[in-house]
Amino acid sequence: MPKITVIGAGFVGATAAQRIAEKELGDVVLTDIVEGLPQGKALDLLEAGPLFGYDSKITGTNDYKDIEGSDVIVITAGIARKTGMTREDLLKINTKIITEVSQNIARYAPDSVVITVTNPLDIMTYVTLKTTGFEPGRVFGMSGVLDSGRFAAFIAMELGCSIRDINAMVLGGHGDTMVPLPRFTTVTGIPITELMTVSTIQRLVERTISGGAEIVNLLKTGSAFYAPSAAVTNMVEAVIKDTERIMPVCAYLDGEYGKKDIYLGVPVKLGKGGVKQVIELKLASDEKKALDRSAKAVMDGIASLKVVN
């Protein structure tokens, strides 16, 4: 079976490990710096196997050496956003954490595909690339898959239709400057621009942009984990099964969309080995301006870190 490592055994990481095991995408290694935490959660998940009928092996560890031979690594390690905290507020602490994690990935799993989930996501994915020294296609982040899922959920609620019929598209940075694209968002092929008023669409766009903050405000002492773990599991499945699904992820751009040496949410073809192709959409002028603003916010964050190329 493929080997899939989840680094970080908090709510997102443990729930991702659960979803990956239940889909039998591979054997799972759950790792964390807190002694006993990954071991206890892994054992609990292993004991659920006979009840849910999955044969994936799940092990917990505090030792990075146990990630050796991983096909895919999911990084969820880091502190979560708290009420009143912007994604940029997370930069200093999470950069230190992601740098250490990435150094260990490069040491023990140099052939792996790496998916980042830690916020601020676009910048942390950039840090992961520069620290590991991997090919850009093997390092990418969750972003648009989650944001598009949120957009689709709000559309289904508004129209009273099945979520299965909705394909949503969200580009840009995973944060306040993300760019939901109504023109490329459809219900069984019908653009939502033909099904809703402009004001309704704008309301749903704004709710999507603040989707993570809405959950943080409701929970008071935590952040989202069900939808993020579902999003990253879909990405893991695309890589492990080489499905070549087209989905919006945080990908490295080298000239696409007029951007270089930056991670940004764009549609890609995802399969074995990671990002196989970045797909360039023909954006309208207002869409391009919004994406440019999003890219600038990411670039400013990267510049503030003084990451060495």
Query: What DSSP string runs through 44-61?
Result: HHHHHHHHHT----EEEE
For residues 87 and 120, the answer to whether their CB atoms sit within 8 Å is yes
- 94 token code pair: 């999470």
* Active site members: 174
Measure the CA–CA gap between 295 and 309, rounded to whole angstroms.
Answer: 18
For residues 119 and 180, the answer to whether their CB atoms sit within 8 Å is no
Residue 24: C-alpha distances to residues 19, 36, 234, 237, 287 (Å)? 9, 24, 13, 10, 39
- 277 token code pair: 């192709």
The terminus-to-terminus CA distance of the chain in angstroms comes to 36
